[in-house]
Amino acid sequence: MSSSGVALSLEGRVALITGGSRGIGAATVRLFRKAGARVAFSYRTAEAQALAMQEACGGPEHCLAIQQELSTPLDGRTLVAEAVRAFGRLDCLVVNHGVWPAHDQSIRTMTDEQWMSTMGTNLNSVFGLVRAGVHRMQHQVPLPGGRYHIVLVSSTAGQRGEAFHADYAASKGALISMTKGLSTELAGEGILVNCVAPGWVRTEMSAGTLDSPDASNRVFRSIPLGRVATPDEIAGPILFLCTPWTGFVTGEVFNVNGGAVLVG
């Protein structure tokens, strides 16, 4: 008996993915394009990588790189407007961008500037993105299936905290609370809101820590699977949460951390 397989298709959909030039974001852009979506993605400084990604994924008619600072609500609204201007609609919003100050900083010595900078990028811009994205979804003609998807990328740190990184943990915990509140608020309008919570992932942001033998050994010992994730292993669950197969899933925190959150 032959089988054609099970499709995870986003054909005809438009997705906006923030922080799409590197790491988890880049893997997600590539996967969404393979699934048939047209994709707009943001980058801040990595222009060469972003433009290479744009061309590799079909050029600006199918995959558009948008340079955009994301540190205020206005920045978020501006990015949504640019994506909609390019592709005419918005069906999936993946909020992936964020900063993690790599140096340990006690709450006693953390500066106002560090706290506000982390919150600006990891939380305030997300408010602008989500508000503008929801407004667009509410005022456009739905495609067959009639559902829209918002996926916020949080972290295990948002669930269990992270010593010496109170700013990061607080911002990522807020995304989990946003997911739970918005999921019930928007369910009646066909907008499904979910969260992916990665643990350690090998990206440029984590390379400094993971390339240190002592630090990486501590990290590996904290993960039951004994290794860190690849960006593709986070992109897959993000894609899944934006497909029709999750049409009855909203308000979920999808842990993708090798079991680390269970033993931390």
**How high is the pLDDT of residue 83?**
98
**How high is the pLDDT of residue 207?**
58
Exactly one of 168, 193, 194, 254 is catalytic; which is it? 168
**Residue count of the chain:** 264
**How high is the pLDDT of residue 208?**
63
pTM for the full predicted model? 0.92
**How high is the pLDDT of residue 178?**
98
**How high is the pLDDT of residue 1?**
44
Residues of the domain holding 84: 14-263
- What end-to-end distance do the CA atoms of the chain give, in Å? 46
d(CA 144, CA 167): 41
Residue 44 covered by a domain: yes
**How high is the pLDDT of residue 67?**
98
Residues of the chain below pLDDT 50: 1
CATH number at residue 22: 3.40.50.720
Is residue 43 annotated as a catalytic residue, yes or no? no
Residue 1 covered by a domain: no
Residue 198 covered by a domain: yes
233-255 pLDDT per residue, tens: 999 999 999 999 999 999 999 99
How many structural domains compose the chain? Answer: 1
Work out whether the CA dihedral 240, 243, 249, 250 comes out positive or negative.
positive
Residue 162 covered by a domain: yes
Residue 5 covered by a domain: no
**How high is the pLDDT of residue 211?**
61
List the beta bridge partners of residue 16: 40, 93
